[in-house]
Chains A and B, each alone.
Chain A
Amino acid sequence: MADASGKSLAITAEALYLTNLMLAPGLAFVLLLGLYWFNRNTTDALARNHLSQTVGVSLTGGALIAVAGGIFLYLGGLTSGYTLMTLLFYFTFIHSSLIFMGVFGLVKAMAGEHFVYPLIGRLFRA
């Protein structure tokens, strides 16, 4: 069972992960990285779980958006409406999926439970 500070850390990590996606991209991620750095050796398993998951999935999500987006742009070119359409679909799909996964993560953190993000989370087990 996690103690109160561990649960609070887990909730903060998930909240920063979601804030990075929705309200303050970049800034919230820097804060999340800071939170991770200063608490990376915490003994609380719940906090470690949520910190490593959110940081790892944020990095992977960012890479998914940037790299694949770049590939679409490179292959499709800037002069095609289809490029814009594909980019929009891709971004919306990835971004919304990351948000929904974050919602599940936040719900689990609030309940004091561990959470592994689907598909990519297993790479970042604490």
Chain B
Amino acid sequence: MKYSSQAVAKPYFIAAIGLFVGQIVFGLVMGLQYVWGDFLFPEIPFNVARMVHTNLLIVWLLFGFMGAAYYLVPEEAERELHSPLLAKVLFWIFLVAGALTILGYLLVPYARLAELTMNDLLPTMGREFLEQPTITKIGIVIVALGFLYNIGMTILAGRKTVVNLVLLTGLLGLAVFFLFSFYVPDNLVLDKYFWWWVVHLWVEGVWELILGALLAFVLIKITGVDREVIEKWLYIIIAMSLITGLIGTGHHFYWIGTPGYWQWWGSIFSAMEPIPFFMMTVFAFNMVNRRRREHPNKAAMLWALGTAVMSFLGAGVWGFLHTLAPVNYYTHGTQITAAHGHMAFYGAYVMIVLTVISYAMPKLRGEEAANPRAQVVEMWSFWLMTVSMVFITLFLTGAGVLQVWMQRYTDVPQAFMVVQDKIAIFYWLREAAGAVFMTGLILYVISFFVTGEKRESVSAGVPDTA
């Protein structure tokens, strides 16, 4: 690595991977609870397992984004991080707060957790994905402010690149839109309306800027293509992301009590949401095809290309599948949504974080790239996780289509639980695919410990034109 302060990224990456493992464990638990309702009941009820699964996802991705930013920003700004100490302190605050929150979910009934954390003073709990106690949310805001101050000061004092500025814009947006988690109107329509300002405007808005910036950074490094070319692509991609994603929020407003025009706005703009993901695919393959160097980190390149492909499939294709209002009328809240959610999160955000880790971790450990044996193991983990995620998505889509057919698109709709029983086979298959995913993840962790021929710590023979 070029700057010693980039080392603060390492604990963030380690924590991210650890929490990722936890997320998948709870995913497997709740996957089994779909077909074996009493599994681990009453110790871990389904609603708690689901909350832990989704909250861990959000927290570890945030750890990943922050680690990526701490690694990337000094290198782009060509100076040391403003305050490595602040980064380390914030890491421990965030980790402890996150761990306590998860323990709270698991050890105390949710209502009691609300009492203990004095939710009544500023009630923000009880909403899907934003279940964190208010005090944790305040902690997240403090960590985010400290983090933005740290990287903001680094960028202000150093070189301003498009990658840096797009990343900073995305992270600022992430922090700003999280503030809507504190706004809980009594009116249920307004409540859902502004809830989406956090959830949608994160994953289909500002997070796409973070994704674009991280992908651009890794591609600059591993392909050696001129920065100017990559930056032009990045401008167009983020412009399309914001043009389509912001008003595309409307696809969540169809059935919550908002005016009917949202069915038009939501349908039209969200139908265009695959475009930036498609452009990202063309961008990534184009850059790799035009590469001016053979970077020794083949695994990072695989993750980068995989991100482009899987985000287009998961966020683009599977999003489009059920985004038009006349289709969504039948499909909303079915397993089709779960299918889209799984592949989109994995393809876009899990994979980009793993791309950055794959690129940065060897450098943080004093190598240009991991040894070839470790890379082989890592690439195995890539394929196991990616292929099993494709199957998880297909099984959930199959379950969702049948659910729509039997429960929604019929003159004689069957009861919810009757339908659930009839599609149980898909849940078993999904669980099996989930077990394969876990195997891939274990291999991924193992890949960090595989020893082999050590590479040079500096990019000898690999000119860094960026």
Q: Which residues of A contact B (CB under 8 A)?
A: 22, 81-82, 84-85, 88-89, 92, 95-96, 99-100, 103-104, 106-108, 110-111
Contact = CB atoms under 8 A, between A and B. Distances in A.
Given A110-B286, A111-B289, A111-B290, A81 B405 contact: yes
B286 A107 contact: yes
A82 B398 CA distance: 8
Contacts of B321: 88, 92
A100 B309 CA distance: 8
A89 B317 contact: no
B14 interface: no
Contacts of B405: 81, 84-85
Interface in B392-416: 394, 397-398, 401-402, 404-406
A82 B422 CA distance: 12
B402 A81 contact: yes
A111 B286 CA distance: 8
Interface stretch (B147-155, B184-192, B277-285): B277-285
Nearest to A108: B289
Interface residues of B, number: 20
B313 interface: yes
Nearest to A93: B394
B282 A103 contact: yes
Interface of B: 274, 278, 281-282, 285-286, 289-290, 309, 313, 317, 321, 394, 397-398, 401-402, 404-406
Contact of B401 (A81, A99, A108, A111): A81
Contacts, number: 44
B401 A107 contact: no
Given A100-B309, A107-B289, A85 B278 contact: no
A82 B397 CA distance: 12
Given A22-B274, A84-B405, A110-B286, 5 more contacts: A88-B397, A88-B401, A89-B394, A104-B285, A111-B289
Contacts of B274: 22
A96 B317 contact: yes
B401 A103 contact: no
Nearest to B422: A81
Contact of A103 (B285, B290, B398, B406): B285
Closest 4 CB pairs of A and B: A81-B405, A85-B401, A107-B285, A81-B402
Specify the main secondary structure of chain A where it touches its partner: helix
Contacts of A99: 278
B402 A103 contact: no
A100 B316 CA distance: 13
Contacts of A92: 317, 321
B257 to A, nearest CB: 30
A109 B398 CA distance: 37
A107 B286 CA distance: 5
B278 A22 contact: yes
A88 B321 CA distance: 9
A108 B288 CA distance: 11
B267 to A, nearest CB: 15
A96 B313 contact: yes
A5 to B, nearest CB: 21
B338 to A, nearest CB: 15
B285 A89 contact: no
Which of A96, A104, A107 has the most C-beta atoms of chain B within 10 angstroms of its own C-beta?
A107
Nearest to B287: A107
Nearest to A92: B317
Nearest to B288: A107
B346 to A, nearest CB: 16
A89 B309 contact: no
B398 A89 contact: yes
Contacts of A22: 274, 278
Nearest to B321: A92
A13 to B, nearest CB: 15
23 contacts: A22-B274, A81-B402, A81-B404, A82-B402, A84-B401, A84-B405, A85-B397, A85-B402, A88-B321, A88-B397, A89-B397, A89-B398, A92-B317, A92-B321, A95-B317, A96-B313, A99-B278, A103-B278, A103-B282, A106-B282, A107-B289, A110-B286, A111-B290
Contact of B281 (A103, A108, A110): A103
A96 B394 CA distance: 14
Contacts of A89: 394, 397-398
Contacts of B397: 85, 88-89
A85 B398 contact: yes
Contacts of B317: 92, 95-96
A95 B313 CA distance: 11
A85 B422 CA distance: 15
Nearest to B410: A81
Contacts of B398: 85, 89
Nearest to A111: B289
